[in-house]
Chains A and B, each alone.
Chain A
Amino acid sequence: MMDAPLLPLFILLTSLLAAPILFALPERAARLRTAINLGMAALKVALVGWLSIKVSQGVIYDLRFEMLPGLEFKLQADPLAILFIALSAVLWLITTIYSVGYLEHGPHRARFFGFFSLCVAATVGIALSGNLFTFLLFYELLTLATYPLVIHRGTAEALRAGRIYLIYTLAGGLVLLLGTLGLWVLAGTTDFVPGGVLADVVAENRLAAQLLFVVLIGALGVKAALVPFHRWLPIAMVAPAPVSALLHAVAVVKAGAFGIMRVVYEVFGIETAQTLGMTAPLAALAGVTIIYGSIRAITQDDIKKRLAYSTVSQVSYITLGVALASPIAAVGALAHLIHQGLMKITMFMAAGNLAEGLGVKRVSQMDGVGRAMPGTMLAFTLAALGMIGLPPLAGFVSKWYLAQGGLQADQVWVIALLLGSSLLNAIYFLPMLHRAWFRDAAPEGTGAPGRPRIGWMLAAPPVTTAVLVLVAGSFANAPFSPLEWTRFIVAIEYQE
């Protein structure tokens, strides 16, 4: 039997060790590559399942070794880590299937899947990091692993986007390094502890603690695409569809949002952050980002860009829920981490299918695509309605809890914000659905006559995730649903 204490390490290694093997495989060894990819992804899902059962039983995993005197590399599997790691494991498996189909005859597949694996390893590492120092290591690895994926096509446009991506994220990483050092110097530890580690420091040195909050949240805000650090995200849309899907749903923006959670809950502690007077500005910034992203999305004709601005908006729901400093809003934020992932990955895979199957890349070309690709568009529709917040879909559950949390925190403006945002979501999503289902295809036809041929590897993944969107919303109160797990976490973070 596998040595149980090392379970988190094995989960990390499933994708970390796959990477060098995938790099070294010859380009033509497609079957072997697919077998390794899917095998490792499935193994990871199984291991994560096992880990989550163990953690729910109260087993504590804690692996550490010293990198510099006092400074530890630390992996820790707590309920919050499980939430994120489960999301990444499941969506990695689905995206891997999709990528294999998407890149079937494309160039540089060895490189692609190698970095793809590294990217997932970095995400898993981010989830399992037991202190900010370890988090920083994986956060930078994530940047380095995603860069080659973003510029995968190797065109001038892709490289330009890659450069902007790299500048934003590495600058953010450098600021995070500064913040991590600051925390280390101020507090003498970078550990993630529910309730935070800075309570003593705040009493003595309020200004330094406030600065530290700004530095850390600013650094993480780059990846979380908080305004004004969001510009890279729509530009990074030149990446292949599965990469965009992964970037938006699991990897990069989520790493930022997840980091904000860790910093607010377990570095500062929600009470300390409130004492510092930092939660209200953060909530306001998240609110601005939510509205700004939605407004920008309306005018985008490029489907992927519209989805990207929608991500800018939607990911900030998570930050909003954290910053409201109410346990109920926290439930909404955490649930949205999962729900947004499921919905967004569905939409990006569907958009990829439209481009592959019909050559449709713009909203104005979407007339009648529903008839040409009903499965894909049905999935897209479910996800879009979920985003708008229609019950019983997943997005409704998150918005419901966020709104209640706003009331609990006496922040009535949150209700208005959520209503306004939902309205804006409807304004930019409904026309897409209308075109797809209720208009006839243009005469000279963007769509080829008859059904476009896309393989099951492209068709099945978005349908699967769309079903998950429906299930996560409808059975939100079932045991082991994201929502239930979320309540478990919030009880820990709010030390109830």
Chain B
Amino acid sequence: MSVEISPMILSVFVPLFGAIAAFVLPRAAALIGFATLVLTSGAVAWLARDVLAAGAVGLPLGGWGAPLGIDLRADGLSVAMLALTSVVGFLVSIAALDSLKGPEQARQRQYFWPLWLLLLTGMNGVYLSTDIFNLYVMIEVIALAAVGLTVLSGSRAALQAGLDYMYASIFGALLFLMGVGFVYLQLGRLDFAGLTGAAPTGALIAALALIFVGLALKTALFPLHFWLPAAHANATAPASALLSGLVVKAALYVVLRLAQYMPFPSENLLTLVGLMGAGAVIWGGVQALRAERLKLLVAWSTVAQIGLIFVAFARAGEVGLSESWKAAALLILAHGIAKAAMFLAAGRIKDEIGHDVIRDLDRTPIRPTLAQFTFALAAISLIGLPPSLGFIGKWSLMEGAMAAGYWHWVGVTMAGTLLSVAYFSRVFAGFLRFDRVRAPVGEHQGWALADAAPLTLALMAIGLGLLAAPVLSFIEIGYPFGVAP
């Protein structure tokens, strides 16, 4: 049997071998890391070309195919997520080169690359999987690497947060696995296609509910968000960017992916999901208003924005379900890019002025203006101001809710927007106030090449809004949202 080289196989196995190589050869870890990223991105680009040319592509592994074997499949949504991971990952890696360059960070440097490449393996695996057991395995790989990245800085706070994260993650995985088991008992198969058309018996719904709760725990949906703020705030900046920008998106993607194969639960359950999202929007926003440190504020804003994505799932009820998934997909992409930019910028600010206490941001004559500017651009997308991708996502969300007459979701979105303006403007005030410093403030202080990566990400978050139509039509290749026109 000849082994066919497929970009799908490459995009999972190249990072896996890269992770092993970076672990074995720590001195060359950065070099291996970048080589791996370039190769993986190349594979994703190749896959994107295939998908553009031929629509969704599938690949049976080991020659058996579903329902027994492992299948890989890529459609527009998968490739969009893979591309998000590649692009954000690449730019975060560039930023990591700078922020982990100090001699006291040798250990961090040593472990960053293998962990990150392992994470990449898991995420690419999730985006290409077609059965729920495979998903489970890949999610575990992600969890392992993500907890490692959380504790990378080695501080006491990070270790504590990492421990909480690990508990949450293990418990979530356990629920997910139980759900997978019940699905198998019910249906006798685990591939996505087997889920379609299955009779929505009580037992099957319960199994899917377990899976959903497990995923909600991993993506930190309110009220299961308790682990996220500390974990994301205390990690080292590039790790925070990966965790907040990319890792939570994997679980969100699984929710989105399973949603199209699952029997429609019921209007009430959907509303419940929306309500949890609304709770996150409000609670995350209020906590961000009260946060004393910049990175903690950014982490709480992740809780709020994840909530908004769940509101998008529920925004129009059953009627506009596939449109709702599209809105959610846009918000996922927007948040991934903008949040990575924001965490990197926050890290840069902390590096330049030596702390990230919001109240004292204006007490220093050092103003890393480029990083501050980047932070503001990312905030524009996260708040959802035009023309950013976040704006387009929010527009789609509100449009559907309004057309369906679901004014409560419109109200939640508007409240979330106002809250995000309120908590981000706390930060801007710190950037722009000058009467509490005695020393002269230079305009271009604290500019560094390290600002390039977050700035690029932030500009992408803004600019992609103008390209939303082609982005959306790409995501829809292979009809990941169920409805063929």
Contacts and interface: CB of A to CB of B under 8 A. Distances in A.
Interface residues of A, number: 41
Q: Is the interface of B mostly helix, strand, loop or mixed?
A: helix
Interface stretch (B54-62, B107-115, B180-188, B394-402): B394-402
Nearest to B442: A27
Interface string A137-164: 1001100100110010111100100110
Interface residues of B, number: 35
Contacts of B392: 67-68
B469 A66 contact: yes
A162 B432 CA distance: 10
A23 B441 CA distance: 16
B429 A163 contact: yes
A27 B428 CA distance: 21
A29 to B, nearest CB: 11
B380 interface: yes
Interface stretch (A103-111, A356-364, A430-438): A103-111
Interface in B387-440: 387, 392, 395-396, 398-399, 402-403, 410, 414, 417-418, 421, 425, 428-429, 432-435, 440
B386 interface: yes
Interface string A181-206: 11011000000000000000000000
Interface in A85-122: 107-111
A69 interface: yes
A163 B395 contact: no
A171 interface: yes
A181 B398 CA distance: 8
Contacts of B421: 166-167, 170
B396 A178 contact: no
A26 interface: yes
B444 A136 contact: no
Contact of B425 (A68, A154, A166, A171): A166
B254 interface: no
A226 interface: no
B15 to A, nearest CB: 34
B385 interface: yes
B431 to A, nearest CB: 9
Contact of B385 (A73, A107, A144, A148): A144
Interface in B11-53: none
Contacts of A174: 414, 417-418
Nearest to A173: B385
B178 interface: no
A69 B435 contact: no
A156 B443 CA distance: 19
B465 interface: yes
A160 B373 CA distance: 20
Contact of A27 (B399, B418, B444, B472): B444
B465 A154 contact: no
Interface in B443-474: 443-444, 465-466, 468-469, 472
Contacts of B380: 144
B386 A68 contact: no
Contacts of A178: 398, 410, 414
Contacts of A167: 421
A104 B312 CA distance: 50
Given A67-B392, A68-B395, A144-B380, A110 B468 contact: no
Contacts of A23: 373
A238 interface: no
Contacts of B429: 159, 162-163
Contacts of A26: 443-444
B398 A177 contact: yes
B399 A185 contact: yes
Interface in B362-398: 369, 373, 380, 385-387, 392, 395-396, 398
Nearest to B399: A181
B466 A73 contact: yes
Nearest to A69: B469
Nearest to B473: A69
Contacts of A140: 385-386
A67 B465 contact: yes
B402 A181 contact: yes
Contacts of A147: 428
Contacts of A166: 421, 425
Contacts of B433: 154-156, 159
Closest 7 A/B residue pairs (Cβ): A154-B434, A137-B386, A66-B469, A155-B435, A27-B443, A185-B403, A140-B385
15 contacts: A23-B373, A66-B469, A67-B392, A67-B466, A67-B468, A69-B472, A111-B443, A154-B433, A159-B429, A162-B429, A163-B425, A163-B429, A167-B421, A174-B414, A184-B399
Given A178-B410, A181-B399, A185-B402, 16 more contacts: A68-B395, A68-B469, A69-B472, A73-B466, A107-B434, A107-B441, A111-B369, A136-B386, A137-B386, A141-B386, A144-B385, A154-B432, A162-B432, A166-B421, A170-B421, A181-B402
